Amino acid sequence: MSTPGSAKGASGTKNNEGGKGKMGGKKELKRTSKFTEVQEALGKDGAAIFVDKKGTQNLYIDYPYHVNYIHSYAQDSPFFLGLAEGRLRGTRCEGCKYTYATPRTYCQFCGEEAKWVDLPLVGKVHSWTTCHYGSEAFLKETPYNLVIVEFEGANSVLLSRLKGCTEQDIYVGMPLVAKFAAEPKYLITDVWFEPAPGAVKR
């Protein structure tokens, strides 16, 4: 049972304090026309002033922002639940029999419903790229290899990570095996590929 007024918007107040708690009230703020110095000062003091070409003093603050996004996989759910069980699931069109290596519950060619099928846990490199930059979640892992995987019996391909080899080891047609996270997070990163035994030629 909640006490009336117990919330008082307290969480809001707390959030608004934001930053890293480093923003000392009376501390002299860093004042600079170099933005890299502003960034540095934000990390240290939580605030800084950027003086632009016109002499305007722009106050910058370090303001962590977090969004908890409740996402539903809806009809794609069996794909992600499959990854947690060490299964790769594609779909096959009931009408034209086109087989997708990705979760697609209606056929893009004939519009018929597609049913879940298990894909082989081995495939081949169709194409690949090496990423020297990535989104925040992957930045620490750069450079890393992305691969487009072909499967026996599937008409389309799957984009995934290729681990366990260097960029120089990769070639079109390279045999691959699927690997699954021991502790699934129900994300596409729960699966990745590695070279099949003997696939690295050097």
- The contact set with Zn ion (CB under 5 A) reads 93, 95-96, 98, 107, 109-110, 112
Nearer to Zn ion, 96 or 165 (CB): 96
Nearer to Zn ion, 83 or 93 (CB): 93
Identity of the residue numbered 11: S
Neighbours of 45 (CB within 10 A): 19
Q: How far is the CB of 174 from Zn ion (least distance, A)?
A: 30
Q: How far is the CB of 110 from Zn ion (least distance, A)?
A: 3
Helix (H, G, I), strand (E, B) or coil at 37: helix
d(C-alpha 192, C-alpha 165), whole Å? 12
Nearer to Zn ion, 89 or 124 (CB): 89
Q: How far is the CB of 178 from Zn ion (least distance, A)?
A: 25
Nearer to Zn ion, 44 or 97 (CB): 97
d(C-alpha 103, C-alpha 185), whole Å? 18
- Enumerate residues 6+ apart whose C-beta is below 8 A from 140: none
Q: How far is the CB of 165 from Zn ion (least distance, A)?
A: 36
**Reduced DSSP (H G I as helix, E B as strand, rest coil) percent helix, strand, coil of the chain, to 5:** 20, 30, 50
On the question of a cis peptide bond just before residue 195, with omega within 30 degrees of 0, the verdict is no
Torsion of CA 12, 13, 18, 24, to 10 degrees: 180
Nearer to Zn ion, 80 or 98 (CB): 98
Q: How far is the CB of 5 from Zn ion (least distance, A)?
A: 60
What's the alpha-carbon Rg for the chain, to the nearest Å?
Answer: 25
